[in-house]
Structure 1
Amino acid sequence: MNILVWLIVIILVVALLAIANSARLVIAPKRQRLWTNPKQELGLGYEDVEFPAQDGIRLKGWFIPARQMPAATAIVVHGWPWNRMGTKANDPLGDLPGSKPINLLPLAKALHESNYNVLMFDLSNFGESGARIPVTYGLLEKRDLLGAISYLKSRNEVDPNRIVTVGFSMGGNTVIYTLPETTDIKAAVVVQPNTSSVFGKRYRADKFGPLGKLLNLPIEILYCLSGAPKTVYLQPVYAANGARNTPVLYVQGTGDKWGSTADVANMVAATPNAVEPLYPETDHRFGAYQYAVDNPDKILTFFKNYLSK
């Protein structure tokens, strides 16, 4: 009997720890420190920049100037719970368990070599930027991207009629939520955006098995108690419907166990000017992120096709 009691206690403790850690990650994850910079890693000149989000939150980032001015400008928007560089995936308290390393700097270099200015910045609640707790997976983070666009338009190096974006995961959501609010984004690439409720359930099912279903409700309750909207209201597909005429290229890996190809397909269908999406074969969610980094020609060709029109 004592063994049974101890077994129940252990299960409860594990469940409580899983709930607490998952809720922390969802509401306000531990910030990941920058581990290098464009000059140190790739020999790219850059400028440390700081600017306000649309609602005044201070955001920090890097501006990598193009070779010739004025030039088109690409904004790289990172995922959750990363920073402007991506993630080292080596901190169990600061990253999503099961993550793999992603370095976004090679993508920035490819954009720079094609004569783009590149802005890489930390979204609110991440990296070195200010806090706006809780994280809302694009819904309020759009204020960060709108602030970034306003900042870029104030710089002489930037052609305001040739601003494009590349968003990863939550960064992809942020781009989608931003598109109905502005006509300044001339083309957008979104890599594995997701509906939060779909992602959360699939992630917990993958990592915790049958226990995952028991975690969904308490995590949702704690998230809402933090001041966040119910995750059922976080629906980027509705924002995608308002993306106007901005061409959007979606990228979604086929082997993604956390996100959903069907979820992204719904966003593609809702986006007025979506182009043919890319569905690379992958064996993990992070495979499609790496695909985008390793195949910048796909992104550059897409941008070239629409910036020249």
Structure 2
Amino acid sequence: MVWLGVLIFILLVFLAFSAFVAYKMVKPPRFVGDWTPEDLGFDYEDVEFTTEDGLKLSGWWVDRGSDKTVLPLHGYTRSRWDEVYMKDTIEFLLKEGYNVLVFDFRAHGKSEGKYTTVGDRELLDVKAAVAWLRENHPERAQIIALVGFSMGGIVTIRALAELKEVCCGVADSPPIYLDKTGARGLKYFANLPEWLYYFVKPFTKLFSGARELNMLEYADKVERPLLFIAGEKDPLVKVDEVKEFYELNKKRNPDVELWVTDAPHVRALKLHPKEWKGKVGEFLKKYL
């Protein structure tokens, strides 16, 4: 019976390790920087607003005097201070003359929240941001757009289907098959085998309370302008997965577009700044 005791011990250690990995996944380290829109040459206001489930979110409001406002949405483990894509995006949008409302998703940056739900309850975060904008600056909330990266891209897609106030959106490197992206992420970020994800996943749901998202369901729901950006060298989100959503959505949405680059995950702006700004700029001018 010694072997049975050893087997049970190994199993318990494996489950404990899976739970530890899950905990680290849903409670990412907080990324906080020291730059502000002032460093880009723009006055700004520190703002806070509260979600339906009672979390205070922290952000910046930059008023450019326009009736058009864009919300840039960061990805998993990042924040408004990200310098890979958020800083350049914020600067680009401000120079284009749009107002910008940017904030940290729950459990990221300086916002409250113990756990991330990677696209589920983060929709409530965008809903709270839009409500704050409409209440405090109604003249600036006539037209609202989103530019989301990775997890922010998931939320952008969902917002276009579920929030009537959002007129159009850009989804850069959005995961479509969240389980596949999660498994790849274990290998990419932690050098762990992809199969481990399927033992880790139940613990992530237990800790965070997140419900499972089927992003392909939204291909039948989005009927507003949407620009996808996908990268052929993306180790987390395959181009074919984004194309699948695009092709399905195109059947009911004449205003969906797809731009495929050679970039890794959320790196199109960094590697091809002129092209990215051209594509996104044209899209926003067309639909804002």
TM-score range for the pair, normalised by the shorter chain length: 0.7 to 0.9
Trace 1:271-286 onto structure 2 (pairs within 5 A): 271=249, 272-273=252-253, 274-282=255-263, 284-286=264-266
Q: For the residues of structure 2 that align with 1:128 and 1:208, how far apart are their CA atoms?
A: 25
Question: Which one of 230, 235, 238 corresponds to residue 257 of structure 1?
Answer: 235
Partner residue in 2 for 1:241: 220
Tell which deviates more after alignment, 264-273 or 41-50. 264-273
Q: Is 1:70–1:156's contact at 8 Å kept on the other side of the alignment?
A: no
Partner residue in 2 for 1:288: 268
Q: For the residues of structure 2 that align with 1:52 and 1:37, how far apart are their CA atoms?
A: 22
Partner residue in 1 for 2:80: 84
Question: Which one of 167, 170, 182 corresponds to residue 189 of structure 1?
Answer: 170
Tell which deviates more after alignment, 219-228 or 115-124. 219-228
* Structure 2 residue 124 is matched with structure 1 residue 124: no
Partner residue in 2 for 1:172: 153
CA shift, 1:202, in A, is: 2.2
| % identity of equivalent residues | 27
* Equivalenced residues, count: 273
Q: For the residues of structure 1 that align with 2:115 and 2:248, how far apart are their CA atoms?
A: 27
Partner letter of residue 204 of structure 1? L
CA shift, 1:220, in A, is: 1.4
SS across alignment from 2:236: coil
SS across alignment from 2:35: coil
Q: Is 1:104–1:293's contact at 8 Å kept on the other side of the alignment?
A: no
Tell which deviates more after alignment, 26-35 or 118-127. 26-35
Q: For the residues of structure 1 that align with 2:278 and 2:187, how far apart are their CA atoms?
A: 35
CA shift, 1:205, in A, is: 4.2
Partner residue in 2 for 1:25: 24
Give ranges in structure 2 of 5+ residues lacking alignment: 1-10
Q: For the residues of structure 2 that align with 1:43 and 1:63, how far apart are their CA atoms?
A: 14
Structure 1 length normalisation: TM-score? 0.79
* Structure 2 residue 50 is matched with structure 1 residue 72: no
Q: For the residues of structure 2 that align with 1:218 and 1:275, how far apart are their CA atoms?
A: 36
Structure 2 length normalisation: TM-score? 0.84
CA shift, 1:264, in A, is: 1.2
Give ranges in structure 1 of 5+ residues lacking alignment: 1-11, 87-100
1:138–1:306 Cα change, 3 Å: same
Q: Is 1:63–1:118's contact at 8 Å kept on the other side of the alignment?
A: yes
Aligned CA RMSD, in angstroms, stands at: 2.7
Q: For the residues of structure 2 that align with 1:207 and 1:16, how far apart are their CA atoms?
A: 20
Partner letter of residue 24 of structure 2? L
Q: For the residues of structure 1 that align with 2:147 and 2:79, how far apart are their CA atoms?
A: 14
Question: Which one of 138, 160, 174 corresponds to residue 141 of structure 2?
Answer: 160
